[in-house]
């Protein structure tokens, strides 16, 4: 009987060992799967970090470009205002108190003076006697 009991106990122990070995193998497989999943998740996190970094760089670049655009827009506005100021006379220029008004007055005065000079010259031409000298045209044929 003891031999049978020993054999039965050995068989039970063997079954327990086999069951434990199977359980250990199963748990090791599950552990490997979890480690693979963690590895995939780590790679995904690294990719997300890279994407976040790239997005931050793009955002910084966009902000720099927006600032440059704002500065350019301000420059263009000031240039347009300067051109408008050159094109359209301002109120202070209309009353003749500005340099431009004075320059315009000088131009008008010089135009009037030129007109008077031309009129005087024309009158002087009219008063001059017409000289009718005979030309010696026969000298041209002898040459």
pTM, two decimals, is 0.41
Separation CA 95–CA 110 (nearest Å): 20
Lowest mean pLDDT among 11-15, 41-45, 53-57: 11-15
* H or E segment to which residue 96 belongs: none
Average pLDDT of the chain to the nearest whole number: 83
- The answer on pLDDT for 19 being more than 80 is yes
- The token pair at 93 is 């220029």
Separation CA 36–CA 44 (nearest Å): 12
- The answer on pLDDT for 141 being more than 60 is no
Conformational region of residue 96, where left means phi above 0, alpha means psi within -120 to 50, and beta covers everything else:
left
């Amino acid at each position: 009987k003891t031999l049978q009991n020993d054999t039965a106990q050995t068989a039970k122990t063997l079954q327990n060992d086999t069951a434990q070995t199977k359980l250990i193998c199963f748990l090791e497989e599950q552990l490997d799967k979890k480690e693979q999943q963690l590895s995939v998740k780590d790679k995904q996190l690294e990719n997300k970090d890279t994407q976040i970094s790239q997005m931050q760089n793009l955002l910084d670049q966009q902000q720099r470009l927006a600032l440059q655009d704002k500065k350019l827009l301000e420059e263009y506005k000031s240039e347009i205002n300067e051109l408008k100021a050159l094109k359209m006379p301002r109120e202070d220029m209309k009353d003749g108190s500005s340099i431009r008004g004075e320059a315009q007055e000088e131009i008008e005065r010089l135009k009037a003076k030129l007109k008077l000079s031309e009129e005087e010259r024309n009158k002087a031409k009219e008063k001059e006697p017409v000289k009718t000298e005979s030309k010696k045209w026969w000298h041209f044929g002898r040459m």
